[in-house]
Amino acid sequence: MTKRKPPGMGFESWVDQQIREATERGEFDNLPGAGKPLTDLDKPYDEVWVMRHLHKEGHSGEDLLPLPLQLRKEVERLPETVRKLRTEREVRDAVADLNLRIVAWLRAPLGPPIPVRPANADQVVERWRAERAERLAKGEAPPPADAGADPTGQAPAKSRRRRFTGRGSTPDDRPAWWRRALRRGRST
């Protein structure tokens, strides 16, 4: 345990005294890395340590951003994300997934008040179609399609069924348990 600073002695002179005494005792001899050059001196220590740790754990620097900024970046990258998808249904599902996360954040925002707007699925699909048509015109092969997928990029009729959202759904789109609950509510 280190000694307490004696009253009346300046802090700097006391620290210098502690270092001088430790050097005389040889506590700084044979330290790991002695005589080797220091790396990353041009970057602040905190930045270097954090980035190394993130890389080691398999994360990127974007993981440190607040959630609304992460969501905005995902919206910006959406065209690149959907470019490799094979069907319109997959594109719409990717946009719907992102929009669900955005709406969840909008309902219970944590962090800085940064505006985030849900993506427009129709615009994303339109852009996806145009880029797909350009790639096909250039002779690039589209990503391998499923056996049940239509070569036009449309999903089979069975998978076009809308997801149940609870609001604005037709009775046929509702799950059986929901239809039974509605019938019970009408009879009482």
Q: Which domain holds residue 108?
A: 65-143
101: how many CB neighbours lie within 10 A of its CB? 15
pLDDT surpassing 60 at residue 163: no
Number of compact structural domains in the chain: 1
pTM for the full predicted model:
0.51
pLDDT surpassing 50 at residue 151: no
- Which residue type, as a one-letter code, is found at position 12? E
C-alpha–C-alpha distance, residues 13 and 136, integer Å: 76
pLDDT surpassing 80 at residue 21: yes
Within a domain: 99: yes
Give the tens place of pLDDT for each residue, 95-126. 999 999 999 999 988 878 889 999 999 999 99
Mean pLDDT of the chain: 78
Give the tens place of pLDDT for each residue, 83-98. 999 999 999 999 999 9
Within a domain: 117: yes
Within a domain: 74: yes
Which string of DSSP letters, residue by residue, matches 113-144?
--------HHHHHHHHHHHHHHHHHHTPPPPP
Within a domain: 122: yes
Within a domain: 127: yes
pLDDT surpassing 70 at residue 148: no
The DSSP call for residue 44 is -
Structure tokens at 80: 């690149």
pLDDT of res. 109:
85
Within a domain: 14: no
pLDDT of res. 144:
62
pLDDT of res. 70:
92
- Contact (Cβ atoms closer than 8 angstroms) between residue 98 and residue 119: yes
Within a domain: 130: yes
Give the tens place of pLDDT for each residue, 30-53. 888 888 887 767 766 666 777 788
Within a domain: 78: yes
